[in-house]
Amino acid sequence: MPLFPDLSGNGYQTPEAHIPTPGGSGSIDPTGLATDAKLQEVIDALPTDPATETTLLLVRTAVESAATSLDNIETDTSPIALTSGPPTVATATIANGQSLSDAVEVDGKLVTIITPAAWTAADMTFQGSQDGTNFYNIYDDGTERIIASANIPTAAVRVLSLDLTDWIGIKYVKIRSGTAAVAVNQGASRAILLVMAG
């Protein structure tokens, strides 16, 4: 398995070829770089005392072991399955004169919002929860997650496609008419369809 560049310009050498063999100044693996002048100079400069040779032997053993481990690695290239069945649909309802819907379990798989046929002009923002009881405003990098009012018709249904990865880790959702700072009460009951990946 080639790991080290051949300094002589002849491609790559195996790890063993770069590890000197104990036994005296300048001795290297006979399958290695006898013609590699730069590496040979470094090896020739090494002391020939037993401690140095022992260190070189340990280094050689470690590199050979690492190379063997790398050869044995099996990489799983199969795609990650984000869905496993047909989509499901749930309804989040904002009551007449209110700005916040009831809670809907989306289990991190929200992919589409279908707006109601009528909508009092307002942005749409969200609250999220892990337990279905304690809800908190959802932010992306410090900015409130929002669907601008310009993208929500006031007198027509619209299908809004969402990025599934934005909802991973969010188990329950409430939909707000308006923003956390400026909520907007709806002029009638609004049924918002939420589509979750299977």
Each domain of the chain, given as residue ranges in start order, spans 4-71, 88-196
**Amino acid type, 79:** P
Give per-10-residue mean pLDDT for the chain (198 aa).
Answer: 46 48 47 52 65 65 57 55 78 98 96 97 98 96 96 97 94 98 98 95
Q: Residue length, the chain?
A: 198
Beta carbons of 176 and 192 less than 8 angstroms apart: no
Instruction: State residue 27's pLDDT score.
Output: 47
The architecture of the domain spanning 88-196 is: Sandwich (2.60)
**pLDDT at 32 (0 to 100):** 47
Type of residue numbered 172: Y
Task: Evaluate whether 190 touches 118 at the Cβ level (below 8 Å).
Answer: yes
Q: What is the pTM of this model?
A: 0.59
pLDDT score, position 198: 85
